[in-house]
Amino acid sequence: MTRPVIGISCYVETARFTVWEMTASLLPHAYVEQVVRAGGQPVVLPPVGEAGSLVDRLDGLILAGGGDMDPASYDQEPLDTTGYIRKFRDDSELALMDGALRRGLPFFGICRGMQVLNVALGGTLHQHLPDVVGHTRHSPAPGQYGPMPVRPVAGTRLAELLGEDPVDASHYHHQAIDRLADGLTVSARAEDGIIEAVDVDDHPFALAVQWHPEVGVDDRLFKALITAC
């Protein structure tokens, strides 16, 4: 059986490898491994050229984690805590998102990917969660995931896949959805009320989560994406 081709968006950052330090298109390998284990063929999509034109060549799309979106994309000024903005990546992923939704392409957003989805449909973001919830459990320290359960909402696609009991989740995000965009349904929340997953209404298969399932052992969401493809 031919593996479905899954495009995964990626970073462009300065990186060190072997004897080199230079600008690189890169992606944590956990995303790639999860797609392969689930039965897909991953293809990394750098945010260059006309990325939106690639949608017709893909069987599915993952928008991966990364730095903050430019708050101008949802009509706000950046806070001092907002950082790692890469406008070229915003533009590329918004184009990919638009193409995927118009075509009905199976889609899975992870962390930043959920934020791109919400902004693409007209929603807004909390720019710094500690100012909203009064704690740092969603992003406890640089390079350190925060364990915190999320609870799927009954009747949503996410609940069909994961059940309605709390799900262990690895968090690393200091931003999250504020105003929910039209066309999205909240499908999970953290215990502090923060939106942690959404379903896209009237779409064959499109969902997004705020946590990082690629670093966990539960591969049900990746398998569901491949099955949809």
Domains and CATH numbers, the chain: 5-228 (3.40.50.880)
Residue-level pLDDT at 106? 98
Query: Average pLDDT over the chain, rounded to whole?
Result: 97
Indicate yes or no: pTM above 0.85: yes
How far apart are alpha carbons 68 and 145 in whole angstroms? Answer: 17
| Cα–Cα distances in angstroms (integers) from residue 114 to residues 4, 50, 200, in the given order | 22, 21, 11
Residue-level pLDDT at 202? 95
**Residue 102 reports pLDDT greater than 70:** yes
**Residue 1 reports pLDDT greater than 80:** no
How far apart are alpha carbons 65 and 63 in whole angstroms? Answer: 7
The string of pLDDT tens digits covering residues 130-171 is 999 999 999 999 999 999 999 999 999 999 999 999 999 999
Dihedral sign, CA of 114, 116, 120, 123? positive
Active centre residues (catalytic): 111, 212, 214
The string of pLDDT tens digits covering residues 17-34 is 999 999 999 999 999 999
Residue-level pLDDT at 133? 97
